[in-house]
Structure 1
């Protein structure tokens, strides 16, 4: 290779190498692993394998067709792992442990059978972007479909980004970045007939390092978006950021009436806002002067006051349960702590 080819090889291969390294890091070495980080590791791995295949196919003519087959098979898993990562990162409901297998196992079985009966070595025309390249078109179609499904799960975040009505959280920006990056890689490979086959590998290097740069810059401000925070942060939340999140919080509380659920937890409310539990706890303490339980109980007391004022059919005990309190004693003690009077006294005062 001449110097130009060597430089091109370096920049196209370095992304694939570091993608494999990061995949191993997220899968085995990150401190706070969860299913989301495993899906991210798997996504980086299959993209890196696909790109590595492209790099060696361009610069080494004697590359094994078996390696090419593996690279093409890995490509079929990019879309599913992207979708699973975004779904796991955005879902507020815990997914069943086996559901993700429906997106992965059939692909692995299908690609294994195709590799046996229609291997790249003997049926290369099926894998090429020509009129008879059915497997190639299916591969790109499947990949693109999963990218679209992932974008659909992020439609509310995209609306916020486009119309700038509400400031996005770090996690939301990260997910949009990942999804857009995978789409760029798909587009680069899909248009290689009009550009060059190496553009796909170069686009991965570009997207990967752009994402790493984003990660480093955001790391200075907050915990990683794919880790569970270890401890309470001492950094003061800015007034504008607090105002935005509190507005979102009030909308969610009014619309969904989460305080009426006795079992509501800090983590569940934080997930509704796409922020970490410790961030929400700090927000409530620093900006409202309340703990999570105090904040929820304030909503419950206000609800109970409205029910007492507007409803003569329910007993005070029933009103307490309707407002979200788990027992009569907690209702009476909390109501008095917040209002300075008991529910029965409050009822007499307004009668």
Structure 2
């Protein structure tokens, strides 16, 4: 099917044109010659070639189509998934160079698609490409999208738990979701309306662009993500001492009673860096700061419920350090297995 609507052509082509410009910039002209930026440029280039192939097919009659270009577009599609995977992994791991095994991995896929293209060219094996091999390409692409999700799973966890995320981390989430949407659009287009993939690319391209322009510290997006903490836990002996010191601090100064107490203020009291305290909590104690503080607040609330029955439940919650009545009720029930009122009735 061929479309002749110039507005539709403009919308479909807009993302491709700008995608090619962006990819060329990151591949050849970016001042920061980071591996991550080069991989991002490669990812956008492959997507632009694939979408460009779709635009070409949609707006060119069957008789006028160059079959080599169609084959080229499908071949680029085969490599989109691995480009996404290694871009995200390089960003998360702050890679300074491309590991040898990454090069081998990419080379195997590249050689595979080249061999297929040589021995089964689209011009003579169109049915093979349009049925079996296109499906195989989408399976490979989808597999890498799943693998890429695992690479950034910790960022997703931070979003779900409403922990603070950096602009660079949010950027990776946006890139991942954008690729996922384009992939789904092509799956839908394969069975229904082929046009949807090209329009989706243009839409997500500008949504991601708007996200980029809306961030004041957008320069950090294409810089290294700060390492949260070292892979190893704090040595056991040191961790035991720090945990004991932290417990004494909580009991003596009762910092948990401050609803808005921050990691920085606690670390200053312990005379260690926020970075090290975060590592102690997450790796050695196995709790987030919020969970750690709430455990002390629940214990304080339990004591107040037993000893100060003249106070209202809401007052007890605030006295224990909870920021709201609902937060107190939900956390207490989750930890103790009973509501505050049910717990208090045991001591009346």
Same fold at TM > 0.5: yes
Deviation per CA, 1:29-72: give whole Å up to 9, x if none.
22212100000000000000000010011101212000001001
Counterpart Cα distance in 2 of 1:40 and 1:110: 22
Range moving further from structure 2, 95-104 or 152-161:
95-104
Is 1:158 aligned to residue 135 of structure 2? no
Deviation per CA, 1:43-102: give whole Å up to 9, x if none.
000000000010011101212000001001000110010001000000156665322212
| 1:186 aligned counterpart, secondary structure | helix
Instruction: Give the 3 Å change call, closer, same or farther, for CA 94–256 of structure 1 in structure 2.
Output: farther
Match of 1:197 among 184, 194, 199: 194
Question: How far did residue 168 of structure 1 move?
Answer: 1.7
Instruction: Give the 3 Å change call, closer, same or farther, for CA 100–254 of structure 1 in structure 2.
Output: closer
Runs (4+) off by over 4 Å: 92-96, 252-255
Question: How far did residue 299 of structure 1 move?
Answer: 7.2
Is 1:84 aligned to residue 86 of structure 2? yes
Task: Please say if residues 33 and 227 of structure 1, whose CA atoms lie closer than 8 Å, have aligned partners that are also in contact.
Answer: no
Segments of 5+ residues of structure 1 without an aligned counterpart are: 230-244, 262-286, 304-351
Is 1:207 aligned to residue 204 of structure 2? yes
Instruction: Give the 3 Å change call, closer, same or farther, for CA 45–93 of structure 1 in structure 2.
Output: closer
Residue in structure 1 matched with residue 74 of structure 2 by the alignment:
72
Task: Please say if residues 77 and 107 of structure 1, whose CA atoms lie closer than 8 Å, have aligned partners that are also in contact.
Answer: yes
| 1:126 aligned counterpart, secondary structure | helix
What is the number of equivalent residue pairs in this alignment?
Answer: 247
Range moving further from structure 2, 189-198 or 5-14:
189-198
Task: Please say if residues 74 and 134 of structure 2, whose CA atoms lie closer than 8 Å, have aligned partners that are also in contact.
Answer: no
Instruction: Give the 3 Å change call, closer, same or farther, for CA 223–70 of structure 1 in structure 2.
Output: same
Residue in structure 1 matched with residue 172 of structure 2 by the alignment:
175
Instruction: Give the 3 Å change call, closer, same or farther, for CA 84–123 of structure 1 in structure 2.
Output: same
Question: How far did residue 103 of structure 1 move?
Answer: 2.8
Instruction: Give the 3 Å change call, closer, same or farther, for CA 254–175 of structure 1 in structure 2.
Output: closer
Deviation per CA, 1:198-219: give whole Å up to 9, x if none.
211111111111111000001x
Counterpart Cα distance in 2 of 1:149 and 1:195: 27
Instruction: Give the 3 Å change call, closer, same or farther, for CA 255–110 of structure 1 in structure 2.
Output: closer
Which residues in structure 2 correspond to 1:1-351 (within 5 Å)? Answer: 5-61=5-61, 62-91=64-93, 97-128=99-130, 133-164=131-162, 166-218=163-215, 220-227=216-223, 256-257=233-234
Counterpart Cα distance in 1 of 2:43 and 2:121: 24
Instruction: Give the 3 Å change call, closer, same or farther, for CA 66–169 of structure 1 in structure 2.
Output: same
Instruction: Give the 3 Å change call, closer, same or farther, for CA 222–49 of structure 1 in structure 2.
Output: closer
- TM-score, length basis structure 1: 0.63
Segments of 5+ residues of structure 2 without an aligned counterpart are: 239-263, 281-348
Counterpart Cα distance in 2 of 1:111 and 1:145: 17
Question: How far did residue 228 of structure 1 move?
Answer: 5.6
